[in-house]
Amino acid sequence: MNVTENQNGSALRGRVRAVVHGVAYGDALGAPVEKLSAAQIRERYGRVTSLRTKWHRDGQSEAARQGRVRGNGIVTDDTAMTLALMRIYQRELRHLDAWDMGNGMVREITWERYWVPELQREAPLIERLFYPEKWIFQRHQLSGCDPRQGGVGNMVNCGAAMYIAPIGIVNAGDPTAAYDEAINFAMGHQQSYGLEAAGVLAAAIAQAFIPGTTVEDIVRVAHDHAHDGTRDAIAAIADAAENLRRKGADADEVTAEFQSCIAPFSAMGDDLVHKPEKAGRASHAYQPSRLFSIEELPLALGFCITTGGNFKKAVEDGINSGRDTDSIGVMAGSILGALHGETIIDAEDAALLDSANKMNLKHLSDQFTQAVIQIHSKDMARAEQTAMTRRRLNEQTQKAAE
């Protein structure tokens, strides 16, 4: 399948740039309000529509902020780990599996030093990561587990899905291959519905590269590849989103309806802050279940529907819905970046993302694209060889039958 050009003629390189930009934009837009409820965001900000937004924790002590800074275009671990996965592909120039999580990702987060924007210094990324992502190091290096069992025992969350976009790109045009590779790789990090979400998001992004694809096609492919609670949650949100779009519901009404729909599948709620009062009381919201779903992915798909696939509005509606705002923004941004290509990239926003984070997203994207092209070339050669072998086997079978 030819995925080098989409329906409006944008090249693969431009679409990869758009996915990476979509990740960084959604991340940076949502980061200042992460863990606030939709009501708290409305009360404090009205509506967040600009990267030049002040972090809601600005003014707190450095200890309270854990030494971090956010706002005004600064990205978080969502983007940092996406870039780490891109670098693994650039080194290996092949498809990945759980052993690459145990080797490549452990090296990336633990033993390499990069500029960490939130810390405003070069450091191993693990110094910034949340515990479910530190689990990668603990399981693979400290415990020496079978790489395929790396995710077992981890807190179930969206941590693998938030950086999985590069797998969708590497498998552009083949959602099933994207799903399979994402599961094979991310099982070294996540389990249960957290792992499922990674596979489904990769499939959605791979579908978005197919010429002529619509938002409806992407949601259908996501639903059809999903299992258990993730599949049911996507169906519930998609049905609600279609009804809300037809009636022209405003963003606040959409948020309220979506959070009502997702409640049976996610017990996250509005209180995301880990604090002493919660000690010893593990929430069932983060435990394995055949019935649950992370909420970020179904919500991101829902906002893609209600906004008619409008990149900026989908990301803005997503992050203004509250809770895990940056990851919702990342997922909506990566899907619609893949769908629309470079047209979604605002020059001023791109410049701010680069300057605030001391990176060149265009250059990093183009380097990754070269790796993707090489992997695609190997895939096509392998497919041709397989087809030739099967033709010969079929010919031999027919001759034997005669």
Q: List binding-site positions.
A: 76-78, 324, 326-327
Q: Are 331 and 201 in contact (CB under 8 A)?
A: yes
**Number of neighbours of residue 112 by Cβ within 10 angstroms:** 12
Distance CA 43, CA 81 (A): 32
Q: State the binding site for Mg(2+).
A: 76-78, 324, 326-327
**Whole-number Å distance between alpha carbons of 336 and 299:** 14
By the 8 A CB rule, do 237 and 258 touch?
yes
Angle (nearest 5°) at CA 201 between 136 and 376: 90
List CB contacts of 81: < 8 A, sequence separation 6 or more.
109, 125, 133, 162, 163
35 residue type, one letter: K
